[in-house]
Amino acid sequence: MKKPILGSQSFLSDNTKRVESYEKYIKEVYDKPANEKPIYTGRYFMVLKEGQKSFAKTKKMLESKMGFSVANSNDYVSESLNESNMEGADVLIYEDLGVALVGGEDEQIQMLESADPNADFILEPEKIVYIPDDSPGVLNIPSTWGIDITQAINSQFTGQEIKLAILDTGFDMEHPDYKGRIITTNSFVPDETIQDVHGHGTHCIGSACGNIDSNGQRYGVATNAWIYAGKVLSNQGSGAQSWILNGMMWAAKNGCKVISMSLGSRVFPGQSYDMAYERAAQFAISKGAVVLAAAGNDSRRSWNQFNPVSSPADSPSILSVGALDSNLNIADFSNRAINPTGKVDIAGPGVMIYSSWPMPIRYRTISGTSMATPHVAGITALLWEQNPNFKPDQIIEQLRNLTKKLSLPGIDIGAGLSIAP
């Protein structure tokens, strides 16, 4: 049986498939049924230990010894790196990252799985990525407390000409609040346009770089940032991990100074971060970007349930953002730094957040670390405007230095509440 080839979405629509080892893990460790959402696509990432150095040797091995059909991400410069353009390919090599996405026949996958432990690569299963389980609020309560409490409302900076990328479910290109804005879009979801049918992406873009609503009330942080909307999650709010990598590389290569991702895959105690994400984040940093991601909404603190920071926010080179409410208490759902590699770096407003939504609804109030992340992303854009000659690590240092210190554990909020310059 052949694994899903590049370009297939079948692994996203079949919610009955499970990974047996995952079910066993859940039963033994958590003693409860496995989550209804599937975890893996059935494909794998080959993370090359020597990165680009072993690219040529790996390509030759995949093609000549194992019979794979190989595509290279660098061949898609003039067109979107979208799997729908690669039907029939078994492997997509991200030469810049030293990572390869592998589909192919079961026999081929088994050959890779049985490779010598001292081989030149590490195999990681490709995850399915979801919008965090955000909590709906009242449909339309125009409270923009996040703009006030982060002091963005008083900042002299607007993110002018700073390229800010939101990788999510797309964007409502017809939303009247964004007329006249500089907006660049790209869809990495096979057979779907940039149009945001779900709503989550338009809401995140609003918090990061929206401006004012129909009544003149401001709800966005970086009101003059140049918007880069990358659709990496489908209209149902899910996507393949490779689509996220495609979006990250697109944003980095286009000179985005901020890459914000309110998405993730659940991580369990003891699990380490995904090397593919870490390689992509390091590539983005090398191009001058700061990368942020939502810490995740899997905890239920009121029930004394704490879950680790989600992937990709648990990657060392990605800033993980936790959520606070308007009283500056940690949100009940916000994940905690439980695993050694999954810290919370900073916190932002994430409860009852009012922002843009696809028409005709136009606005909506929801809660989640998804909402906290674009607030911090917008503040990061303001810092880039203030310090155009800084490097990413200097911007991050400024971001930490400006935080409001709170009497809450660092494992929940990192350096504190993000404050605008």
Return the amino acid letter for 42. G
From the centroid of its chain, how far is CA 139? 25
Active-site residue (options: 168, 274, 298, 345): 168
- Kindly report the number of other CB atoms within 10 A of residue 257's CB atom: 27
Nearest to 221 by CA among 353, 389, 50: 353
Q: Which of 73, 370, 375, 412 is catalytic?
A: 370
Contact criterion met (CB below 8 Å) for 385 and 155: no
Cβ-contact 121, 46 below 8 angstroms? yes
Would you tell me how many other CB atoms lie within 10 Å of the CB of residue 41?
25
200 assigned to active site: yes
- 135 assigned to active site: no
- Please name every residue paired with 93 in a beta bridge, in sequence order, or none if there are none: 72, 100
Cα separation, 184 vs 182, whole angstroms: 7
**Residue 103: both structure tokens together:** 């589909």
Amino acid at the residue 94: Y
Residue tagged active-site, from 90, 155, 175, 200: 200
CA distance 188 to 240: 10
Residue 370 annotated to the active site: yes
How far is Cα 51 from Cα 98, in angstroms, rounded to an integer?
Answer: 4
The Cα 205–Cα 64 span in angstroms is 45
- As annotated, the active-site residues are 168, 200, 370
